Amino acid sequence: MPTILVLLFLAITALAAEKYPRDLLADMTKRPWPGENYPILPSLSPSVAVGAGNEMAHSPAIRQAIIDLNPNNSNVTWFAAEEVLEHEHAVWCLQACLCHPHDDVQINALRAIGRLKDPKAVPFLLIYAEYEAMMVGGSESATIHGIIHEELSATLSALTGIIIRIKGQDPEGLLKAIHEWRRWLVEHPADKV
């Protein structure tokens, strides 16, 4: 009988230690090294947080991918996790990846969202685009930020059908494009796409 009690205690302890989806998302988006992201990243919108939580609740593979996206893991682990999210069509979790502190994760998430072509991603992509619509200095940082601008324009163009190509860093061009994509969103409300 004591063995059964020990096993029951271990099972209850394991369940209690299991993190809620919101905690996993917080772990994934928390910068573990000193300093702050520049540009500052948006907070997860309520719809993205709820959608990502639902995806994790319905798929152990998606949940594990979010765990693997912890910034303390390697980029190889992150990229494999993003492949799982794309394969599972986890568009909400891929949007959450836009708040990951590493640029490469954000770039891969933008590409995956563009390939999935789910217009439900447009509202949060526009929020993310507004945060990214600025110049970043420094050779490597500027190059990476230019790639983010290009991937944002490619992804939003794919989702909305309003084709706007941005080459490198172009905050003014991105802001003008955001205006056009917002107009599309007004004509195609997210609850109807």
> Do residue 162 and residue 189 come from a single domain?
yes
> Do residue 128 and residue 191 come from a single domain?
yes
Domain of residue 109 covers 46-116
Please state, in angstroms and as integers, the Cα–Cα distance from residue 88 to each residue in 70, 82, 174, following that order.
19, 10, 30
> Do residue 89 and residue 123 come from a single domain?
no
**pLDDT of the residue at 45:** 96
> Do residue 169 and residue 112 come from a single domain?
no
Report how many domains make up the chain.
2
Q: Answer yes or no: is 28 within a domain.
A: no
> Do residue 187 and residue 137 come from a single domain?
yes
User: Which two structure tokens, joined as six digits, stand for 60?
Assistant: 């152990």
Mean pLDDT, range 118-134, rounded to an integer: 97
> Do residue 129 and residue 98 come from a single domain?
no
Among residues 92, 116, 140, which one ends one of the domains?
A: 116
> Do residue 80 and residue 125 come from a single domain?
no
3-state helix, strand, coil in the chain (%, to 5): 70, 0, 30
**pLDDT of the residue at 105:** 98
pLDDT band with cut points at 50, 70 and 90 for residue 98: very high
> Do residue 105 and residue 122 come from a single domain?
no
Could you identify the residue written with the tokens 């490619």?
154
Residue-wise pLDDT tens digits, 31-87: 999 988 899 999 999 999 999 999 999 999 999 999 999 999 999 999 999 999 999
Q: How far apart are CA 191 and CA 99, in angstroms?
A: 23
Could you identify the residue written with the tokens 């997210």?
190
